[in-house]
Amino acid sequence: MKTRTPRPEGVLLPLRVQPRASRDEIVGWQNGALRVRVTAPPVDGAANAAISALLAGALRVPPSSISVVRGTRGRDKLVSIAGLDEATVKSRLPRLVPGSQTAQAGTGDRSRVASISGHPRLTPASRTPRQ
């Protein structure tokens, strides 16, 4: 499955957005879409503006070159990045692109795996049984 569509005017990038998160961050690839968290609420386009600013900073392009093509009112979005091709996007987001050297190297260095709640101290190995 293609995650980015090459176009003469730029790249189309599918996103899965989580508004009202605790921090602005690019999480990584999940099910063919780039997962993004933003602190802005999904009201009056605030989350879309935060997405543009976050991607612009990560890809080193002006925020005006990023526009939401589809999904302005939903979590699943299709974003157009003008002025970049797929190779440039891969080189500027090396840890987030599946199959890159740094993405594969970074997956095995987690010593603790979070439980379902996500808290690292609640892993089965860290709990001691009651006596």
pLDDT exceeds 70 at position 110: no
Distance CA 105, CA 117 (A): 26
- Output the pTM of the full model: 0.67
Residue, of 115 and 62, whose pLDDT is higher: 62
Structural domains of the chain ordered from first start: 5-95 (3.30.1200.10)
User: How much is the average pLDDT of 86-97?
Assistant: 74
Give pLDDT tens digits for 3-49. Answer: 555 556 789 999 999 999 999 999 888 888 899 999 999 999 999 99
